[in-house]
Amino acid sequence: MTTPELEFEDVPDMQGFDDIYIDGKPIGEEKDLEANVSNPEPSKRSCAIPHPISVFFQLAFKVLAIFSYLFMAWISDSFTLVFISVILCMAADFWTVKNVTGRLLVGMRYWNEINDDGTSKWCYESLEGQRKLSKTEAAIFWLSLLGFPLVWALLGLIAIFELSPLYLVIIIIAFVLSCPNIYGYLRCAKEAKFQLSKLAEGASGYVEGKAKDYAQKAATEAVKDYAKKSVSSLGSFSFGKN
């Protein structure tokens, strides 16, 4: 019986099929069959400011308030207009920092709760150590939170020297509106440090307890082994004597 001869057809050139794709790649493209793993592109560098809109509003209302105080009088001679502009900007800044930017930029918040008996309770919370935060955003937050009240204090000294009691009233109100957020977030930071220290003490206590249990168990096993060996040795000695 004769074996039929096998005929092979010429494989067509793949260069003409570059416009046909299989698995997202052209047919004519060479593949690495040994690795069969695509080399991932180098990861892009993480942005230093993940929340640019929050950072903008963290600064915007503060800057607008100071701008209104310094330059609104040049536009209009109305003291009422300056007063309303500054107070509205500072009120918006207070709400934004308390409810939005503090949570996003530093992972902190504080709020007030009313108990069933009618008493009021302030709660302070921090996510420090639980969520990765941007150091740049945190620095912007704390510098703006603590720096702008100092600017208002400086403007207050200038108003005193210029004998402007009406504008001094605006500065005092703006400074007072800045203080609650300073106090609240400093309490949040203090609470975060307390929680971290408490967690560290709990972890060390847990490790210490486990170490004591292990040592006690090892000592008990050693005593049992020694007792068994002593009994077996005494039994063999008495048997040999008999």
Predicted pLDDT of residue 183: 92
Give Cα separations from 46 to 43, 107, 122, 137, 197 (angstroms): 9, 19, 36, 13, 30
Task: Please give the backbone phi and psi of residue 96, each rounded to the nearest 5 degrees, phi first.
Answer: -65, -45
Predicted pLDDT of residue 4: 53
pLDDT string in tens for the chain (242-residue length)? 555 554 545 545 545 444 444 444 554 444 443 344 344 444 444 567 888 999 999 999 999 999 999 988 788 778 899 999 999 999 999 999 999 999 899 888 888 888 888 888 888 888 765 667 888 998 999 999 999 999 999 999 999 998 888 999 999 999 999 999 999 999 888 876 655 454 444 444 444 555 556 556 655 565 556 556 665 665 554 545 44
Euclidean distance between CA atoms 189 and 184, whole angstroms: 9
Predicted pLDDT of residue 209: 54
Q: How many CA atoms lie within 13 A of 72 on its CB side?
A: 18
Predicted pLDDT of residue 228: 62
Euclidean distance between CA atoms 89 and 173, whole angstroms: 12
Termini Cα distance of the chain: 92
Predicted pLDDT of residue 160: 92
Residue whose tokens read 């007792």: 227
Burial class (CB in 10 A: 0-12, 13-18, 19+), 178: buried
Euclidean distance between CA atoms 174 and 152, whole angstroms: 7
DSSP classification of residue 131: B
